[in-house]
Structure 1
Amino acid sequence: MRWGFGVATRAFLVLMSCLMAGQMAWSTAVCAQPSGSLRRVGFLWIGTPDGSPSPSLASFRDGMRERGYLEGRNLAIEVRDGRGDAARLGPEAAALVASGVEVIVTQGSGPTAIAKQASSTVPIVFGAAGDPVGRGLVASLARPGGNVTGRAIDLGWNKAFELLREAAPNIRRAGLLYHAPSVPAGYLPIFLAERKTAAAALGFDLTLLPISSLDEVEPALAGFATAGGEALFVNGDPGLVTERRVVLPLVLRYRLASVCTDLRLPEAGCLITYGDDVNDSFRQAAGMVDRILKGAKPADLPIEQPTKFMLIINARTAKALALTIPPSILARADEVVE
């Protein structure tokens, strides 16, 4: 005798087999995806010189897992990076396109622009990019057009400068520490102009401190401090963030009031940090990737924008600098590191 099962019955049996595995929430999500359909996604970011993995990639994986995608079962993620050198990203982006991935997820404005140059047809979802309209990544926030969409990020530089001015009204000489190879050549003028404008608007004399390796950080800080430097803005370059437990103590050693926009830096000693949660942004970006894999077009998916920003004050660093943070700032802080 042959047994015949309807579609609903077969689906019920598959679901029950998953639930019997004893991991109800996880199994239900996995079974929600079509069996046997391996979806291929690329991930492109600037990378770090030592090859450290991107924390944002872990968050993206979490977001995909929450939507029923598991690597090795129904998802394959191919990661490409430039080892901290933007000049190496072009070939990596081209390799992703040639590999046949269905969507490319990018981290940052520079990698997004490079991915866009590599293909005008493969969907691109940026998990975090500043001013995507102004930088020519999309036509508008409501209707991106083309093959690019994603989640915008407000790097918070204008607010960061304002907070430093409020916390230390007498500071005039500020430096900007950034890893030059991480910034694509075409984006460098925009990158510098944005920060110079924000600094000048609040009366800061901004000194640029580009470095190309971690070995250059201490000489740059020593020279800046000797020349009368008082504060330092630490850019959220992957290399600097990865080495934060080396970089931030050096900043403190040279008695510089540090300001950051990456939420991973306060615990390493950054005095004032203001920004949105990039890792959460990538977790949410997985939702856009899921929609595209199910047939949505990037051109029709509006750019998602951050809604929550965090202000974190490191009281230990303030004490070490003999700096009193005004109550007006402490009252607005989401967290104070004691």
Structure 2
Amino acid sequence: MLRRAVTGAALATALLMAGCGTSAEPTATTPAATGTEEKPSVSVGAVTIVSHPSLDAVYEGIKEGLADAGYVDGENLTLEFQNPQGDQATLTNIANTYAASDHDIFVALATPPAQALAQVIQDRPIVFASVTDPVAAGLVDDLEAPGANVTGTSDQLPTDRQLQVIQQILPDVETVGIVYSSAEVNAQVQAEAAIEAGKELGIEVLTATITNSSEVQQAAESLDVDAYFVVVDNTVVSAMESMVQVAEQRQRLLVTSDPDSVQRGAAAALATDYRAQGVQTAGMIARIIEGADPASTPVEFAESLELSVNPAAAERMGVTLPDEVLEQAATTY
């Protein structure tokens, strides 16, 4: 099993010394090999921030993509997965434990875990997924040339297009409220982007910050707005039912940034296919295992956006989704 690799290049050297050849660079849709016999044994330490359907889908996509690339858990892949359930102190402990471990490569789902790992691990590769703004988060120097041992995939979405979805549903919308976690820099970046995008669209964006999921309902109730919008924010998404409850009680539209939240009761979302993003991330992990250097491996962005709608949920909020929105939807719940 590979141990203490400094970069993907060092991993490649170890593979050559062991007599293992490498194949052409795989992608999220092009497996590295059809079997596991030609692949090295590799140990991966993965960590998320909290349990919710979108991040769970990313993780399942990563496992699927790694298997397609020839790395099968329990065969030539040892995969440890940790979840601090949103607790920062527990996340720090997990990161320190991983730093002292023999894992060859690390995977971080969302911004806080990626930051926690990057603070204590510089001698082995870290691949992140679902990090909205890796530059603002201090994870990479540049999107095209990350510069160190960290790279991955971003779920950054076009905020103006998301607000336009709200306008399509509510043409007279004047105010939109965003509840976001002050502990997630990715959420702060999106909230600021939404404020700027709103100015161009004639929408005033109001915000309320929280520190944990138990505060979501009160924060939502503090906003007197025409509609609510949830950015890519793991803390808020983990309490989506609270947002739905407030939206229904106040008869206000709720639009989100992930399709799973639409299934859970939001009215609509222009969002990334998170399982597909996991598969895409797995392609990067496989390339780094096989020799790519994270320092020069560009950050990748989600390859597709889809509109999901839930007409029944919208009706419970006192809103009827227009036909043009229903026709654009890739998924209807």
Q: TM-score normalised by the shorter chain: which range applies?
A: 0.7 to 0.9
Counterparts in 2 of 1:121 and 1:200: CA distance versus 1, 3 Å: farther
User: In the alignment, is the contact (CA less than 8 A) between 2:61 and 2:275 conserved in 1?
Assistant: yes
Q: Deviations over 1:199-225 (max 9, x none)?
A: 33333333323344554444444444x
Corresponding residue number in structure 1 for 2:312: 316
Inter-partner Cα distance in structure 1 for 2:328 and 2:146: 34
**Residue 151, structure 1, aligned to residue 157, structure 2:** no
What is the CA-CA distance between 1:311 and the residue it aligns to? 0.9
- For residues 146-185 of structure 1, what are the structure 2 equivalents within 5 Å? 146-181=148-183, 183=184
User: Is 2:55–2:274's contact at 8 Å kept on the other side of the alignment?
Assistant: no
**How far apart are the structure 2 equivalents of 1:53 and 1:321?**
26
Per-residue CA distance 1:168-195 (angstroms, 9 max, x = gap): 12222322123445x26xx675454233
Q: Which residue of 2 aligns with 1:198?
A: 197
Aligned in 2, Cα 1:302/1:160: closer, same or farther, shift over 3 Å?
same
Give the Cα–Cα distance (whole angstroms) in 2 for the partners of residues 134 and 305 of structure 1.
Answer: 15
Q: What is the one-letter code of the residue matched to 1:301?
A: T
Take 1:189 and 1:237, find their aligned partners in 2: how far apart are those partners? Answer: 9
Secondary structure (helix, strand or coil) at the match of 2:276 reads helix
Q: Bigger radius of gyration, 1 or 2?
A: 1
Q: Say which structure, 1 or 2, has more relative contact order (CA 8 Å, 6+ apart).
A: 2
* 4+ long deviations beyond 4 Å: 212-215
Question: What residue in structure 2 maps to residue 234 of structure 1?
Answer: 230
Task: Give the Å deviation of 1:130.
Answer: 1.7
Structure 1 match to 2:71: 69
Determine helix, strand or coil for the equivalent of 1:30. coil
User: 1:92, 1:167 → 2: CA distance?
Assistant: 43
- Whether 1:30 and 2:27 are equivalent positions in the alignment is no
Pick from 244, 249, 266 the counterpart of residue 248 of structure 1.
Answer: 244
Q: Show structure 2 runs of 5+ residues with no match.
A: 1-32
The 3 A distance-change label for structure 1 pair 197 and 85 is: farther
Q: 2:46 aligns to what?
A: 43
Cα distance, 1:242–1:46 mapped onto 2, change above 3 Å: same
The DSSP-based 3-state class of the residue aligned with 2:50 is: coil
Residue 18 (structure 1) aligns with:
none
- Aligned equivalent of 2:271: 275
* Structure 1 CA distance for aligned equivalents of residues 277 and 308 of structure 2: 18
CA deviation after TM superposition for structure 1 residue 275, in Å: 1.3
SS for the counterpart of 2:260 is coil
| Structure 1: distance between partners of 2:256 and 2:188 | 20
The match for 1:138 is 140
User: What amino acid is the match of 1:203?
Assistant: G
Number of matched pairs: 301
Q: TM-score, normalised by structure 1?
A: 0.77
- Cα drift, residue 41 of structure 1: 0.8
Which sections of structure 1, spanning at least 5 residues, go unmatched? 1-26
Conservation of the 8 A alpha-carbon contact between 2:221 and 2:246: no
**Offset of 1:64 from its aligned partner?**
1.5
Which moves more between the two structures, 266-275 or 245-254? Answer: 245-254
Change (3 A) 1:306 1:172: same
CA contact (8 A) 2:153 2:281 kept: yes
Pairing 1:294–2:282 present: no
User: Which of 123, 126, 137 lines up with 1:124 in the alignment?
Assistant: 126
Contact kept, 8 Å, 1:78 with 1:96, in 2: the verdict is: no
- 1:54 maps to what in 2? 56
Deviation at 1:45, TM superposition (A): 2.2
Q: What RMSD over aligned residues (CA atoms) do the two structures have, in Å?
A: 3.0
- Percent identical pairs in the alignment equals 27
The residue number in structure 1 matching 2:332 is 336
CA distance in structure 2 between the aligned counterparts of 1:55 and 1:234, rounded to whole angstroms? 18
CA separation of 1:93/1:71 partners in 2, compared to 1, >3 Å: closer, same or farther? Answer: same
Secondary structure, aligned partner of 2:35? helix
Q: Do 2:187 and 2:231's aligned partners in 1 also have CA atoms closer than 8 Å? A: no
User: CA contact under 8 A between 2:153 and 2:277: conserved in structure 1?
Assistant: yes
Partners in 1 of 2:135 and 2:74 — Cα distance?
36
Query: Which amino acid in structure 1 is aligned with residue 173 of structure 2?
Result: I
